[in-house]
A and B are shown apart, each in its own frame.
Chain A
């Protein structure tokens, strides 16, 4: 089985978000970039599937500039067999999806895994868009995946519960916590890091996709005023404030 895992490079969760150039750019100074957390669950799932399906390969793909290669190498250190970097600074999700789809059309895979959403742009666009561009089913968010020969059994998160579905391969799956458990997440060990250096990382030119959105500016959300502390012996005061000041109950 040929498995493709799509990864994004995002600022680590604990990063303080700042803007530069008059708030028109995200300030990357001092920012630690990591594999998008949702993608990590998908990458681990791919490695688990590879182990139970001998002869399978796990390829990682990333759409982005050369500065993102350390994050790609980390996914190789975690255990992917090889990596592809499509050399373009994508400005929106449509561009990312189109680049990946163009690659897959010439290089078919049985299973394509992406994160359900990236923690920087929170689009939730790539998984289903990839499915549509490739004319195949997509399940995202996905918290269960079993491969049976040439078909997949999947558990989709829906509002108010879950839906069990099946599809022939190939299929696109959007991963999140639950596809594998946090404690199952694979992390790079010394051997993995050494091996990653010699695993292939192939750079491919863009298929010529264009973006149709641009960020004019960034802003921080309105700051909250200081927390009003209420005495533990006077919870009636809290209720009064919630009713009359905050007006939420």
Chain B
């Protein structure tokens, strides 16, 4: 029996949250006493795949031949490899691809499934792991009685654990195809840095008063190397694109740093950002509820504070 970990690539790049999933899988393998094998699918270089070696993964099966993936194909390939390797656990990052393929894979393998997991097993008979729930307002400690499981690892929670190992690549194959869903086209977001796995995020809301005010937010994000996000009202009225909306009905993120400018901090917004490691709130209203959820706060006018912050950050990084 072995543990598989999906080495997802985004346009040929293996991102940090995938290395985090590898770190998790290596820890999981230690906990259950099984070897861990990576699986790569699609178009990606060997050098990119070998980044998984930095987190302790010594073997990756590379399945070539699929230039287009959807959840049906990804799950079918992973099931083929799991079958060939005798794996009973498959681990992936909680990306769109990971969470899309995992439920289908669970059915194919007749396995249990648990998503947004934040720690390695605390015991093994049965396996017990913790996951995020209630929109990050709770942590659930869950026992898995199925002896086969598909696990998606929450982004930026377990963290990357360095354990440099030589990673060898073996060839694998799968003829998995799909004829239920027809691809028509992709439309890329215009953002420079993807919000879903960004480590640093600068976000702003109605306090900025107009769409034209966002120049300084984008400049602050650029100075930090951060992604930009926004509150719901601002995406509803079209000042910012929908994919920037973080919150209950938007997306949930868990960056290392979340700077909120001119956002009051309604519960629905907090539901999307409360997993952030460090929260900075800048608001003119000292009673803004967001200050109660923040690590650092500045009461002040965004139009004065943000330009000064940009200057200070550029100076600190010089």
Contacts and interface: CB of A to CB of B under 8 A. Distances in A.
Interface string A12-53: 011001010000000000000000011000000000000000
Contacts of A240: 316
Interface stretch (B51-59, B110-118, B161-169, B204-212): B110-118
A76 to B, nearest CB: 23
A213 B145 contact: yes
Interface in A218-249: 218-221, 224-225, 227-232, 235-236, 238-243, 246, 248-249
A233 to B, nearest CB: 8
B153 interface: no
Given A164-B187, A238-B298, A11 B134 contact: yes
B250 A177 contact: yes
A229 B295 CA distance: 9
Nearest to A135: B180
Contact of A123 (B104, B115, B187): B115
Interface string A131-168: 11101111110010000000001000111111111111
Contact of A219 (B139, B144, B252, B313): B139
B66 to A, nearest CB: 16
A163 B142 contact: no
A37 B272 CA distance: 14
A129 B296 CA distance: 42
B274 interface: yes
B298 A159 contact: no
Nearest to B270: A13
B236 interface: yes
Interface in B3-19: 10
A144 to B, nearest CB: 11
Interface string B140-160: 111111100000000000000
Interface string B162-193: 00000000000000000011111111110000
B144 A159 contact: no
Contacts of A160: 10, 188-189, 194
Given A37-B249, A132-B108, A238 B280 contact: yes
A8 interface: no
Given A37-B248, A161-B186, A164-B184, A238 B309 contact: yes
Main secondary structure of the interface of B (DSSP, over half): mixed
A17 B137 contact: yes
Interface stretch (B20-28, B30-38, B42-50, B93-101): B93-101
A230 B271 contact: no
A239 B257 contact: no
Given A37-B248, A215-B142, A122 B299 contact: no
Given A93-B113, A228-B295, A248-B257, A162 B71 contact: no
B187 A216 contact: no
B144 A215 contact: no
Nearest to B316: A239
Given A212-B145, A215-B142, A230-B298, A167 B181 contact: yes
A219 B165 CA distance: 36
A89 interface: no
Interface in B191-247: 194, 196-197, 199-200, 224, 236, 242-243, 245
Contacts of B248: 13, 37, 119
B280 to A, nearest CB: 7
Nearest to A246: B278
Contacts of A232: 298-301, 304-305
A242 B278 contact: yes
Contacts of A122: 115-116, 132-135, 252
B103 A136 contact: no
Nearest to A230: B298
A88 to B, nearest CB: 18
8 contacts: A120-B133, A128-B103, A135-B180, A160-B188, A212-B112, A217-B141, A227-B291, A238-B296
List 8 A-B pairs, minimum CB-CB distance, nearest first. A232-B300, A129-B103, A212-B146, A137-B180, A128-B103, A164-B184, A177-B249, A248-B257
Given A122-B132, A162-B189, A238-B280, 11 more contacts: A13-B268, A119-B248, A124-B99, A125-B115, A129-B103, A158-B96, A158-B97, A160-B188, A213-B112, A235-B305, A242-B257
Interface of B: 10, 70-72, 75, 95-97, 99-104, 106-108, 112-116, 128, 132-146, 180-189, 194, 196-197, 199-200, 224, 236, 242-243, 245, 248-250, 252, 256-257, 267-268, 271, 274-275, 277-281, 291-301, 304-305, 308-309, 312-313, 315-317
